[in-house]
Chain A
Amino acid sequence: MVAVLTIEGLAKSFAGVRALDGVDVEVHEGEILGLVGPNGSGKTTLFNCVTGFVRPTAGTVLWKGRNITQLAPDQIARLGVVRTFQQKMVFPRATVRENVEMAWRGKRGGDTGQQFKSCDDLLDFLGLAHLKDRLATDIPFGSARNLGLGLALAANPRLLLLDEPAGGLNQDEGQELADLISKIKELGITVWVIEHDMPFIMSLCERIIVLHVGKRIAEGRPAEVANDPNVISVFLGEKFAKDSAT
């Protein structure tokens, strides 16, 4: 197991709120790693720190041994670490094909280059070929979600960070997405995925990290994590809070 991404002691405070509080993570080459945790536990902030969108207060991020903590988002993306967003994941006033063209990045120095032969090839892979001339605002939500994923793929990633890709999808769409993510893994791309939906993440990931108020409280194989008493108390607590709120 080779660690491609190593996060050490990562911390981030927003005006006194500790969104991340000394998080350590290793992402292994070729795996699908899950990141779960209640709302506001710092999952998106962790991705933001890794991809340069947010400057961490402390800690380091190493990508293949290189310190990328202070790099700008576009530099990090060009090194092969590409993320998706929870919302606003496409370019609305451009066609589906133009969207992919905008994101398209060919060979990267020294690397093997694109997994896909062309933008059309990628659109086929995503099952979006029939929508390619439509404006991105006009396509169904599930397709837009796939397109968002496609943009990240077009940018020629080695590590893909997916922020709640299954949010708002129904069960069938969720299953399709899980299949797509497995296919992405088969292309040799490492995947790190945030998700609320436990069944989704349990079936998809080999390994899961659990975040709670900015701290990593558990890590391991899905079955181990699911039986971890800390995790159970956090998630039961969340469920209890939700139930009592409604």
Chain B
Amino acid sequence: MVAVSRSFAGTLLRQYPPADILTIRLPLAILLALPLLAPMLLPSTRLLSLAITAAIFLIVANGLHIVFGYTGQLSLAHTTLWGVGAYTAALLAIHYGWPTAALIPAAGISAAIAAVAIGIPAFRTAGFSFAIITFAFAEILRTVAINWRDLTNGGAGLMLRTPPTSIGPIEFETIRHLDNFYYLTLAFAYLSLAGVFLIRQSRLGRTFIAIRENESLARSLGINVYLHKLIAFGLSGFFAGVAGVFLLYNNQKIEPGPLSPFSAFFTIQFLLMILIGGRFSMLGPTIGAVIAVFAPEVIRPLIGLTPLGDLSTARIQIIFGSTLVLTVLFAPNGVAGQAKERYGALAAALQKFRERQGGAAPPGAAAGG
């Protein structure tokens, strides 16, 4: 019996190499499809709201991934671009009544333009100076949002009471149709994921990574580093701007306060998301965003905080800080990086098992050493 089942396992493994369907594609597909079931699985409206927040964060984080993860540029203006998108959408919706389908590209493009405008001077420098200059621009934009009262209504911000435009009979009003709004947001979260995937597969994405890996070498091979950094920043701004529309609909307002996209809190939090999720992995920002939103939920009962009311910002920061320390210590390439390593070990073990079973060397196996 044992011998039979063993040889069956051997045959199966020979037919489906571990690097393929069974061990990675299928679980990954299931994992990626899971959010589609969230309205059925999550027991409360509050949790579904959190899932919406996670989806919005994910779009922002995927945008940051292009400039920070792929291109290796530490932008401290990214969440500000998210705010720029939200303000653009609010102004166009309030004053001109633009429909959602027009707000999304408009917000994306305006944030992309802001990104390029910041990038033109900022990319004259590199490393720390670049980070500081982007931070300065973020502060300028925050000050503008607070002080240009005629346009932005100052610290009180802009209110938007209209929900996203209905598609035929499907309404997105967030009180009665929260799950529809969730699916709409989720669709764009998936699109953002597809976006980073396609960029990673393209020549453009390879160029971004070349710049991250070795800027001088990239330049020596004829790559226009400055131009490609601007492109990366513009693309990341586009993602952030699109996410701004959903933030606006979700909160029904946009303001420049201490828990808004204009806050240093979010600047840091999104960088941490990518570091914790894994900055060298395509799914890193996704994992980071989901952890950022749901980890406090899991931790809250564990550390016995009051069940009512939210965790304070300070506490969330402490949790995030400690998570980062743990990540750096135990998974320097983030959760996704760690998973890949583990998978590598698993695949190697399966490979050995298979070789003992079948003897024949598998076709196209990576050379040893």
Contact = CB atoms under 8 A, between A and B. Distances in A.
Interface of A: 51, 53, 72-74, 77-78, 82-85, 88-94, 98, 101-103, 105, 130-131, 133-134, 151-152, 154-155
B217 interface: yes
8 cross-chain pairs, A with B, having the tightest CB-CB distances, nearest first:
A77-B222, A91-B213, A102-B210, A78-B222, A155-B221, A73-B219, A103-B221, A102-B206
Contacts of A101: 203, 206
A130 B366 CA distance: 8
**Among B214, B217, B224, which residue has the most Cβ atoms of chain A within 10 A?**
B217
B221 A134 contact: no
Nearest to A130: B367
A229 to B, nearest CB: 37
Nearest to A85: B217
19 contacts: A53-B219, A74-B222, A77-B221, A78-B222, A88-B216, A89-B217, A91-B214, A94-B210, A101-B206, A102-B206, A102-B207, A102-B210, A102-B218, A103-B221, A105-B222, A134-B366, A151-B217, A152-B220, A155-B221
Interface in B284-330: none
B182 interface: no
Contacts of A92: 213-214
Contact of B220 (A77, A131, A133, A134): A77
A48 B255 CA distance: 50
B216 A74 contact: no
A146 to B, nearest CB: 15
Given A102-B207, A152-B221, A155-B222, A131 B367 contact: yes
Nearest to B209: A94
Interface residues of B, number: 20
B214 A88 contact: yes
Contacts of A90: 214, 217
B210 A83 contact: no
Given A74-B223, A74-B224, A155-B222, A91 B217 contact: yes
Contacts of B223: 74
B280 interface: yes
A131 B367 CA distance: 7
B213 A94 contact: yes
A93 B367 CA distance: 18
Contact of B216 (A53, A102, A154, A155): A53
Interface in B185-228: 203, 206-207, 209-210, 213-214, 216-225
Contacts of B209: 91, 93-94, 98, 102
A17 B365 CA distance: 54
Contacts of A93: 209, 213, 280
Given A85-B216, A92-B213, A93-B213, A102 B221 contact: yes
Contacts of A91: 209-210, 213-214, 217
Interface in B214-248: 214, 216-225
A134 B365 CA distance: 11
Nearest to A154: B221
**Among B214, B222, B366, which residue has the most Cβ atoms of chain A within 10 A?**
B222
Given A74-B225, A131-B367, A51 B210 contact: no
B16 to A, nearest CB: 19
Nearest to B225: A74
Given A74-B223, A82-B222, A102-B207, A88 B217 contact: yes
Contacts of A155: 220-222
**Among B203, B214, B224, B366, which residue has the most Cβ atoms of chain A within 10 A?**
B214
Contact of B221 (A53, A105, A130): A105
Nearest to A161: B220
Given A98-B206, A101-B206, A102-B207, A73 B220 contact: yes
A217 B210 CA distance: 39
A20 B213 CA distance: 30
Interface string B332-369: 00000000000000000000000000000000001100
Contacts of A105: 221-222
Contacts of B216: 53, 73, 85, 88
B356 to A, nearest CB: 24
A89 B220 CA distance: 10
A88 B219 CA distance: 13
A92 B72 CA distance: 14
A102 B213 CA distance: 11
Contacts of A134: 366-367
B239 to A, nearest CB: 23
A92 B223 CA distance: 17
Contacts of B207: 102
Contacts of B210: 91, 94, 102-103
A156 to B, nearest CB: 8
Contacts of B206: 94, 98, 101-102
